[in-house]
Amino acid sequence: MPNASQATSSEPLRVLEEIKRQTVEKLGGLPDALYPGVEQALSMALQSGDVGPGHFEDQTALRMMRGQAASLVMRFRQQLAKGFDDFRGLRVRTRSELPLGLIDDVHLAYHLDGQRLAESLQGRFGEAIDAMDARLRDMAATLGMPEVPNPIGPDRLAAAFVETFRETEVTDNVRGLLVRQYEAELVRRLGDVYQRANALLAATGFGAMTGARGPAAMPRASAPSAHAGGYIHDTVDAVPYRGHAGVNSGAAMQDFHGGAGMPAAGHMPDADMADLRSMLRMWREGGMAGSSGAATSRSPAPAPRDRGLGGTPRRELRIDEMLNLVNLLQPEPSDTFARALAGPGRLGDAIREHLGDGARRIGVDPEQTRFSDQEEDAIDLVALLFDSLFRSNSLQDRARRLYGRLVLPYVKVALTDEGLFVEREHPARKLLDAITEACEGNQGATPQEKELLERAAAASQRVVAEYNEDVAVFELAHAELDALLGQHRKRSQLQEDRLVKATLGRERLDKARESADEALVQRLRSTRLTQAVADFLAMPWRHHIVQTQLRDEDPARREEAIALGDALLKADRLAAENRGRELADHLLAIEPLVLRCLASSGLDESAAQHGLAGLVRALATPDGPRRAQSAKPLSGGETVESGEERKLWLAGGTTGVGHDPTVAERMRKLEPGDWVRLTDVHGDVAAAKVAWVSPMTSRFLLVNRRGLRMLVASAEELAVMEQDGRLVVGSERSAFDEAMRRVRERIDSAAETY
C-alpha cells in the first residue's frame, strides 16, 4: 500500500485505514498494560495498611482477569476497529433502536466511569480532538456520508473500555483502579496518536496543520464539548491548571517570577517570596531554629555543611540527582513521616534522614554530598507546611499515614514547580485542600465519612503511584475527590440550615418561657390563692402562654392568653368574698378560654371538661385555704447551649464576665461566612464558620466544616475566648492558605527573635 501521507483527497479510505492501523498498533495492547499498575496499587495499599476486608476479593478478581488477558485484548482491539468500521459507513444503531431494559449496578458503574473518563480526555486533548473532528467531517463530506463520531475520540475510547471490561467479574475497588490506570495509559499515548492522525489528515488535504498538537499537548482551558450520545459528567472539573511549567530533570529551577494574568488573590509578589526564602535560609543556618521550634536543628556555622569527614569539600546534589532519589523512595511506604507528624519540628529532620538513607542505597555518600539551598528550601517549606496543617486543623491520628505518603511527592513538586506556594489554582495545592477538608474532624462515624476517608486515601495512593513531574496527576486525583466532596458539602449545608432553624426555635422557646415565667411570678406574688388556681396558673396557663407565643402571630390571641390569668385571679377573689352569683357568671364567661387553654396542653374535650369541673369545685368552697404561692421557672436559667458546652468553651458562662469592650465590639462585626480558629480545653485546634447571627439575642452560631454546631456564644463571650488565646479571628478559608500564613508568621517571629 502506498504511503498514506502521499495520498490525495480522493483516497480518504486509504488514509482512514492507515490511521486505524497506527491506532490499533499503538493502543491495541492497552488491557495488558493495566494489570501491573493495578497490582502495584493493591500491593502498596497492603504494605501501608490501608486495606479492608475486601482485599482478598480484589486480588482474586485481578488474577481472574489476568486469566482472561488474551480475550480481553482481542475484544478491545475489536472495539477500536469497530469505531473505524462505523465511520466507513456501516449502519450505526441509534439509541431508539437499542433494546430497552433495566441496567444493573455494575453496568451503571462502568457507564459513570466512562462519563468521567471521556470528559477528562476531552479537557486534556481538546484542541487536538477538535482539529481531528473538523478534518473527519471534511472526510465524511467527501465520502458523502452523514456526520459520525470520531473513531478515536474520548467517547469512543471510553466506550471501548466499557464494552471490553463490563462483563468481567471485578470488585468496585479493582474497577476503579482499572479506570484510573486506563486513563493514565491513554494520557501517555494519545498525544502521539492524535499528532500522527492530524498529520496524515492534513497532508491529504483535510484541514490545516494549525490545530494539531504534539505528544506533550497542553490541556486547553475551555470546557469540553458535548458530543451527541457521548459521556457527560457534571461533577468533574475538566478545566486544567495552566500555571508555571515544572523544570526538567537536570535543569536548575529558575527564580520565581509572576505570570501575566495570574489571579490577584492567588499571587504572592516576587519580593515576598524572595523575602520568605531569605528568612527561611537564615532560620535554617542560624540560631533561629532553636528559638522557633523549627523542623530542622543545625549548627550556626556553615562550615560543617560545606565540608565532609576529614575536611573534604562536599558537593551539592544536582536537581536531577535529587529528583531521581525522590522517585526511588516515593513508592516505598514509610511510617517515618507519619510518626514525625505526631510532634512539631520533626518532619524536616525525618525527610533529610530518609533521603540520606536512600542516597546510600544508590551509591551516593551523604558525607560527601549536601543539599543545595534550593533543595533545602523545598524540604523545609514542605515540612513546615505539613506540620502547620496538623497544628491548624482537627486531623485525627488515622490521617497521619495518609499525609505521610504525600510528603515526598510534595517535596518533588516544591523542587520543580514553585507555583505550589504561590498560586491558589495549583493542582497540588487544591488536592491538599480537598484531602484536608475530607479528613478534618472526620472520625469515620458514618458511612459517608468512611467513604470520604477511603476516597482521600485513594487520592494519595494515586499520587504516589503515578506522579512523575506531571501535575496532571494531582488534577485528576482532585477532580475525583472533589466530586464526592461536592455531595458532602451539600449535606453539610443542609445540616447547617437545619441547625440554624433548630437554634432559632430554641431561642424562641427560651424567650417564650421567660415571658411566661415573668407573667406567672407577677401574678403569684400579688395575692394569696387557693391551691387549685395556683396549680392551674403554674401548669396549663403558663404552657398555654408559651404555645400561643410560639404558634400564634395574632397579638389579640396573645393578649387573650395573658388575660385568662387575670380572669382566674378575679374568680379566686370572688370566691373568697363569697360572691357566688358573680362567680358563676364569671366562670361561664371564661369557660371557652379555660377549655382552649387546657386543649393547648394536649387534653381532649372530655379531659378538658373534667379539668374545668375540678377548678369549679375548688372555687365553690369560699372558706378553702389560701396562701402565698411560688413556681419554679420553666427555663431554669438555661440558654441555647447546654451546660456541658459551657464548661467546654465559655469562661464564666455569662455575658457579665470580664471582657474588653473594644474586643467585644470587634466581635460584633463578624458576619455569616467568616471563619475563625477555636482551641478547646484539650488544645485541639479546629476551623469554625459563623453560620448565623441570632436576630433575637445577637448570639453567634459557629459550625465546623461538616455543618455541626461547635459553639453558640455572645460577642462578650467570644471576646473572653480571644483574650484567653482560644479564638483567632481572620482564619483563611483554604487550609493551605491558612497553613502558609502560619508558616510565614512562624518564620517572622523567629526572625524578630534572631
So what's the pLDDT on residue 103?
46
Strand partners, 687: 677
For 720-726, the CB contacts below 8 A with 24+ separation are: 720/650, 720/651, 720/652, 720/657, 720/658, 720/659, 721/649, 721/650, 721/651, 721/678, 722/663, 722/667, 723/659, 723/660, 723/663, 724/651, 725/679, 726/649, 726/678, 726/679, 726/680
Instruction: Please give the share of the chain, as a percent, with pLDDT higher than 90.
Output: 2
pTM of structure: 0.53
Q: How many CB atoms are located within 10 Å of the residue 252 CB?
A: 11
Burial class (CB in 10 A: 0-12, 13-18, 19+), 608: buried
Q: Domain boundaries in the chain?
A: 4-211, 317-497, 526-619, 641-753
The Cα 114–Cα 700 span in angstroms is 46
Higher pLDDT, 54 or 306: 54
**In which band, very low, low, confident or very high, does the pLDDT at 655 lie, cut at 50, 70 and 90?**
very low
Rg (CA), the chain: 36
H-helix or E-strand spanning residue 686: strand 685-693
DSSP string over 201-221: HHHTTSS-GGG---TTPPPPS
Q: What mean pLDDT is reported for the chain?
A: 74
pLDDT digit string, tens, across residues 435-479:
988 888 777 778 888 888 888 888 888 898 888 878 888 988 888
Half-sphere exposure of 123 (CA within 13 A, CB side): 23
pLDDT digit string, tens, across residues 549-565:
888 777 888 888 888 88
Lowest pLDDT segment from 136-145, 574-583, 641-650, 651-660: 641-650
Three-state DSSP string of 654-678: CCCCCCCHHHHHHHCCCCCCCEEEE
- C-alpha dihedral (305, 308, 312, 315), degrees to nearest 10: -60
So what's the pLDDT on residue 48?
66
The Cα 584–Cα 588 span in angstroms is 6
Instruction: Enter the C-alpha cell of residue 58.
Output: 480484589
So what's the pLDDT on residue 271?
53
Dihedral of alpha carbons 383, 386, 390, 391, sign: positive
**In which band, very low, low, confident or very high, does the pLDDT at 407 lie, cut at 50, 70 and 90?**
very high
Class of the 641-753 domain?
A: mainly beta
So what's the pLDDT on residue 84?
83
Half-sphere exposure of 699 (CA within 13 A, CB side): 20
Using the predicted structure, report yes or no on whether residue 237 has a pLDDT greater than 70: no
So what's the pLDDT on residue 431?
92
pLDDT digit string, tens, across residues 468-512:
878 888 988 888 888 888 888 888 888 888 888 888 888 888 888
- Return the exposure string of 134-172: e unless at least 16 CB atoms fall within 10 Å of the residue's CB, then b: bbbebbbeeeeeeebbbbbbbbbbbbbbbbbbbebebbe
So what's the pLDDT on residue 226?
34
Using the predicted structure, report yes or no on whether residue 44 has a pLDDT greater than 60: yes
* Longest CA–CA separation in the chain, Å: 126
So what's the pLDDT on residue 538?
82
pLDDT digit string, tens, across residues 722-752:
888 788 786 666 788 888 888 887 777 765 6
Instruction: Enter the C-alpha cell of residue 391.
Output: 497544628
Cα angle 201, 83, 6; round to 5: 20
Lowest pLDDT segment from 8-17, 217-226, 534-543: 217-226
- Return the exposure string of 697-712: e unless at least 16 CB atoms fall within 10 Å of the residue's CB, then b: bebbbbbbbbbebbbb
Using the predicted structure, report yes or no on whether residue 213 has a pLDDT greater than 90: no
Q: Is the CB of residue 120 less than 8 Å from the CB of residue 476? A: yes
Q: Is the CB of residue 15 less than 8 Å from the CB of residue 25? A: no
Most confident of 104-113, 165-174, 259-268, 471-480: 471-480
Q: Which residue has the cell 486480588?
A: 59
